[in-house]
Homo-oligomer: A and B are copies of this chain.
Amino acid sequence: MRIERVTNTVSLKRTIDSGTEEQRKAVLEILAQVQKEGDNALRSYTEKFDGVFLNEFKVTDSDFKDAYAKLDENMVQIIKEAAENIRDYHSRQTRQSWMTMKDNGTILGQKITPLDAVGVYVPGGKAAYPSSVLMNVIPAQVAGVERIVMVSPPGKDGTIPAGVLVAADILGVKEIYKVGGAQAVGALAFGTETIQPVDKIVGPGNIFVALAKREVYGNVDIDMIAGPSEIVVLADETALPNEVAADLLSQAEHDERASSILVTPSMELAESVAVEVERQLLLLPREAIARASINDFGAIYVTNDVEEAIRVVNELAPEHLEIMTKDPMEKVGKIKHAGAIFIGRYSSEPVGDYFAGPNHVLPTNGTARFSSPLSVDDFTKKSTIISYSKQAIKDNAPKIAAFARLEGLEAHARAVEERLK
């Protein structure tokens, strides 16, 4: 693993995939067809892209039963416990509507309302992640969203992976359609005979899904477009090289374009971590992917001191940050930009991917500078409440009218003055 003394500013090697011209055209064509042909378009794209003809898309009771038969009972329990932890954490994020009353009788407030309907895209095939079901569905449920729909591409045998279906069933999600790709996004955004449209689409997907989400944004809301995963470990000489290396590799195995970076003032740690990464890499089943990621996007930055290391972390604005230093909690206040902060040696990043409770959908590509983890907020919206009293309009109408006239809006001025008549 490359070791580099940091002298000036650093930044993550960004790799936003905006798709090829051909992919963008294909997505536009698919979305147009779904709007025009509805279910029939879904049928023909599913046959074309997923290699299976389905007349009905909806997951049935017997599909759920088959899924449970394929999954270890112990695993079902673990998913349930993870779901409880995630629900407990997210229920602490809920917000109340509020009002404030003034002496003159005016009431101002902010009303919080859950979205009506949300669609969750769950990738299929090799990258079937039950954890993704938990992380996208639970915040919507905690927010109070009444209708939560899942879509996921079927395998060639016409089924959705067992873990995904069991996770959905544990959460009580019953409306699931075996459809994926841009056609699923189109169905959720515009509706078909079978699938009623939703107000927001969340969940990860391949480039076609990402492009389709970007395209329907405005008609419906979408979550962020996620880039490859990133981890930055901030460590000093007290960190154990084997633990640091294992955590770096846990991101590297995701994707050749994932970034795993260590920032440390200790050259000794830097050198031992480089050795450990190489040793552990050889033992990994996904060695090829992890090695490509480490070679192309991995780095060990050595700084003069911890303060400088923190500056570098804030420049990187990573998705995941681990702090493995002396008194790690004391460093948290200095971290300005990070999606999730893992504190101390026992907070290995995968703890947050599955089980601890916080969401694993996090801002990538340096967007932690301005974006947040997926949360209950993302499934609610606010409405302002203004109730002006007779006294308030009497006192303030002349000022409001003057302001309106300063901006050249006479009808605005007259509307408030109309109340004085």
User: Across the interface, do B406 and A130 meet the contact criterion of CB distance under 8 Å?
Assistant: yes
Q: Which of B253, B387, B390, B421 contacts A242 (CB 8 A)?
A: B421
Partner of A340, one of B353, B357, B365, B386: B386
Whether the Cβ atoms of A402 and B358 lie closer than 8 Å is: no
For the complex, give the distance between the alpha carbons of A92 and B388 in Å.
18
B residues in contact with A410, CB < 8 Å: 253, 284-286
- Known A249-B415, A370-B381, A392-B346; judge A93-B111 contact (CB<8 A): no
Q: How far is the CB of A376 from chain B (nearest CB, A)?
A: 11
Q: Give CA–CA (A415, B368) in the complex, Å.
A: 24
Chain B residues positioned under 8 Å from A369 (CB to CB): 115-116, 199, 381
Nearest-neighbour CB distance to chain B for A251, whole angstroms, equals 8
Q: B402 to A329, Cβ gap below 8 A?
A: no
Residue of B108, B242, B353, B393 touching A357 (CB-CB under 8 A): B108
Q: Is the CB of A221 within 8 A of B370?
A: yes
Does A44 reach chain B (CB closer than 8 Å)?
Answer: no
Given A290-B411, A348-B418, the answer on whether A340 and B384 have CB atoms closer than 8 Å is yes
Does the CB pair A386–B403 fall under 8 Å?
A: no
Question: Is A373 a contact partner of B384 (Cβ separation < 8 A)?
Answer: yes
CA distance A89 to B344 in the complex (A): 39
Q: Which of the 9-residue segments A3-11, A51-59, A74-82, A179-187 touches chain B?
A: A74-82
Q: A412 in the interface, Cβ–Cβ < 8 Å?
A: yes
Q: Is the CB of A412 within 8 A of B353?
A: yes
| A247 interfacial by beta-carbon distance below 8 Å | yes
In the assembled complex, how far is the CB of residue A411 from the closest CB belonging to chain B, in whole angstroms? 4
In the docked arrangement, what's the CA distance between A149 and B209, Å? 36
Residues of chain B contacted by A23 (CB below 8 angstroms): none
Does A69 reach chain B (CB closer than 8 Å)?
A: no
CB of A60 within 8 A of chain B? no
Enumerate chain B residues within 8 angstroms of A130, measured Cβ to Cβ.
403, 406-407
CB proximity of A14 to chain B, nearest CB, Å: 9
**Contact between chains at B387 and A368 (CB < 8 Å):** no
Asked if A136 is at the interface of the complex by the 8 Å CB criterion, the answer is no
- The closest CB in chain B to the CB of A412 belongs to B350
For the complex, give the distance between the alpha carbons of A382 and B353 in Å.
17
Q: Are A253 and B370 in contact (CB under 8 A)?
A: no
Determine the residue in chain B with the shortest Cβ distance to A249.
B411
A107 with B393, Cβ < 8 A, contacts A370-B381, A408-B126 known: no
Q: Which of A220-254 contact B (CB under 8 A)?
A: 220-221, 225, 242-243, 246-247, 249-250, 252-254
User: Which residues from 105 to 163 on chain A have a C-beta closer than 8 Å to any C-beta of chain B?
Assistant: 106-108, 110-111, 113, 115-116, 126, 128-131, 163
Q: Judge if A338 is at the interface, Cβ distance under 8 Å.
A: yes
In the complex, residue of chain B having the shortest beta-carbon distance to the beta carbon of A344: B387
- Asked whether any CB of chain B lies closer than 8 Å to the CB of A367, the reply is yes
B412 touching A253 by the CB < 8 A rule? Answer: yes
B contact residues around A297 at 8 Å (CB): none
Nearest to A363 among chain B residues (CB) is: B381
A-B contacts, 16 listed (Cβ < 8 Å): A16-B218, A78-B399, A79-B403, A81-B399, A92-B110, A116-B369, A218-B225, A243-B418, A252-B411, A284-B411, A286-B410, A286-B411, A344-B388, A352-B384, A363-B381, A371-B381
Beyond A115-B370, A246-B418, A352-B386, list 12 extra A-B contacts (CB 8 Å): A131-B407, A242-B418, A243-B418, A243-B419, A246-B411, A249-B414, A286-B411, A332-B385, A346-B392, A346-B393, A350-B413, A370-B381
